[in-house]
A and B are shown apart, each in its own frame.
Chain A
Amino acid sequence: MGNIAAILWKEMRSYFGSPIAYVVATGFLLMMGYLFQNEVVEFRAKCLNYSFQHQEHGVDAPNVNEDVVFNFFLSQCLVWLVVTPMLTMRLFAEEKGSGTIELLMTSPLTTWQVILGKFAACLGLYVIIELLLLSLIFVVSFYGDLNWGRVLSACVAILLLGGSFISVGILASSLTDKQIVAVVIAFVLLLLLFVVRYSPELIGREWATVLFYLSLIDHTRDMARGVIDSSDVVFFLTFTFFFLFLTHTVLESRRWRR
């Protein structure tokens, strides 16, 4: 436990000691701020429209939870997909490139302690950026009747999704000693896990269902609406563990090459 904490603190210092945390956080908040602003403007137009039409045509009343908060969380998922690889790219690639991996691997640490320390640090930074973003939700709460249960459930979804994204990024980082290669591998993998949802049914309904099930972001959909389905939670946790396990295998493979 102490070893995990040591790695965690080292990584945190490194994130905040270099521009990376600030650049990524700024970029992410800028992008999300823009998208959020769009949601709000659109919602206002919808409200105006609705008040003029006087519910004549059986149109649903605009709902801040559905029209703003839900979309806000769904668009976040996509932006995180692009941003997370930039947070994870250095975790192992930098150590390999600069030779510091030799320090970690010849110290009395287990490979799991190193992986978990790095994972926790990255997830910590992810949570910090996410908390900054959530200030936007408080803005909404002044103007609409916010369902806090739904917000909380969506936050859980974002956290679980983040763990999965980070685990993919960590695996990519462990495969190479170049950060740029790590970021590309992570990005391709994550994008692939996103586009599988568009598989044509020509490949067979069963296969299309399987592929759709692998689509990470679609598992957040229910939670973003306030329904925490244990199967989604289990999916994310298993996914994260699986990729961390693959990372462990990659790092340990050095020890089998006799």
Chain B
Amino acid sequence: MIEVDHLTKQYGSLVAVKDLTFNVEKGEVVGFLGPNGAGKTTTMRILTCFQPATLGAARVAGFDVFHDPMEVKRRIGYLPEHPPLYRDMYVRSYLDFVARIKGVPSRNRGTRVDDAMERCGIRDRAKQIIGQLSKGYRQRVGIAQAILHDPDVIILDEPTIGLDPNQIQEIRRVIRGLGREHTVILSTHILPEVEKTCDRVIIINRGRIAAVDTPENLTAGASGNRRYYVAVSGGLDAAAEAIREVAGVVDVRRADDNQALQIEASGETDMRPSIAARLVERDLGLVELRPITAGLEDVFRELTGHEEAGA
């Protein structure tokens, strides 16, 4: 449904997006993950024909964004970073206007607007002025605006930013619901968001793709090494000393809370029995021993952190 082919965007000497290539299949929900300024918004603006790319090409539903912008625009629903709302309009008349300029035929307009309001839970706000709505409701009007013409592709730039936890749940439910019939790309720098809503994650950093995979695969293969969390009632330093001697252990350091140890071991074997045996043998008072599974957060930090530190 979306093909991005060696896309590059430069603003003067600043390279916002560099040689980006990826595909999105029909019906997929893809998360665009990256730190602020990674190039997420730029990529989305190119896909929605708001900006041209410096090099490379992008196709949406088979139409080139540069050569056939009209056909692309007809098939896209887009929620920019700042919801494009006219603050002095009523919710209903705003959505009516958007339906008109998106080319929804007049006989379907009423039902399409009702349907979009229903899905985003803003039915009871139809007669309110947008400027008087809370941020959460404005964001929902923004999403309603993006889906109301039933587009093939929906592009959401940070759809849950500034919402409270309940509203975030709500919006995620809406997005998941969209994924069945539509192709959705959403960008975010909130990690649990992609874990919960996306079929696939594209991690982008400093304008380049750092990883493309399902959330599950990404978290599984964050690093070749296994990691363990060990708490003891005896001295931490003595315990660290003891564990270092275990074959296969590569690194031992204090855990973040400074009350326990974090151990990194190479290889596929479970190191728990040998670590436990050693600690018991030295009588260091083993209290807790568990493996640390990498969350998307760790993957993200691993993929995006190093380069930043090196830069």
Give chain A's interface residues, CB within 8 Å of chain B: 2-3, 6-7, 9-10, 13-14, 17-18, 98-110, 254-258
Contact = CB atoms under 8 A, between A and B. Distances in A.
A106 B49 contact: yes
Contact of B97 (A6, A98, A255, A258): A6
Contacts of B73: 106-108
Given A10-B97, A103-B145, A108 B74 contact: yes
A102 B93 CA distance: 19
A245 B138 CA distance: 35
Interface string B73-105: 110101011111111110001000110111100
Contact of A106 (B53, B78, B81, B87): B78
Contact of A14 (B74, B78, B89): B89
B48 interface: yes
Contacts of A7: 101
A13 B89 contact: yes
B285 interface: no
Given A108-B70, A108-B73, A98 B50 contact: no
B51 interface: yes
Contacts of B88: 14, 17-18
9 contacts: A7-B101, A10-B86, A14-B86, A99-B81, A99-B82, A102-B48, A103-B84, A106-B73, A256-B52
A3 B87 CA distance: 21
A79 B122 CA distance: 45
B16 to A, nearest CB: 12
Given A13-B93, A256-B52, A258-B54, A98 B87 contact: yes
A250 B97 CA distance: 25
Contacts of A101: 84
A83 B147 CA distance: 40
A258 B52 CA distance: 6
Contacts of A17: 88-89
Say whether chain B's binding surface is mostly helix, strand, loop, or mixed. Answer: loop
B154 to A, nearest CB: 12
In the A-B complex, the 7 residue pairs with the smallest Cβ-Cβ separation, listed nearest first, are A103-B84, A6-B100, A99-B82, A100-B84, A106-B48, A108-B73, A102-B80
Nearest to B155: A106
Given A103-B145, A106-B73, 6 more contacts: A3-B100, A10-B86, A10-B89, A17-B88, A98-B82, A100-B85
A258 B78 contact: no
Contacts of A100: 84-86
Given A2-B100, A6-B100, A108-B102, A258 B53 contact: yes
Contacts of A9: 97
A2 B99 CA distance: 12
A14 B85 CA distance: 12
A107 B53 contact: no
A218 to B, nearest CB: 39
Nearest to A6: B100
B103 A108 contact: yes
Given A103-B84, A108-B73, A6 B52 contact: no
B40 to A, nearest CB: 15
Chain B CB count within 10 A is highest, among A7, A13, A102, A106, for: A106
Nearest to B53: A258
Interface string B97-121: 1101111000000000000000000
B20 to A, nearest CB: 15
B120 to A, nearest CB: 16
Interface string B135-170: 000000000010000000000000000000000000
Contacts of B97: 6, 9-10
Nearest to B51: A254
Contacts of B100: 2-3, 6
A108 B74 CA distance: 5
Nearest to A94: B86
Nearest to B45: A102
B102 A102 contact: no
Contacts of A258: 52-54
Nearest to A99: B82
Contacts of A6: 97, 100-101
A9 B101 CA distance: 12
Nearest to B93: A13
A89 B97 CA distance: 22
Nearest to A2: B100
B84 A99 contact: yes
Contacts of B78: 102-103, 106
A183 B98 CA distance: 28
A100 B102 CA distance: 14
B52 A106 contact: no
Contacts of B48: 102, 106
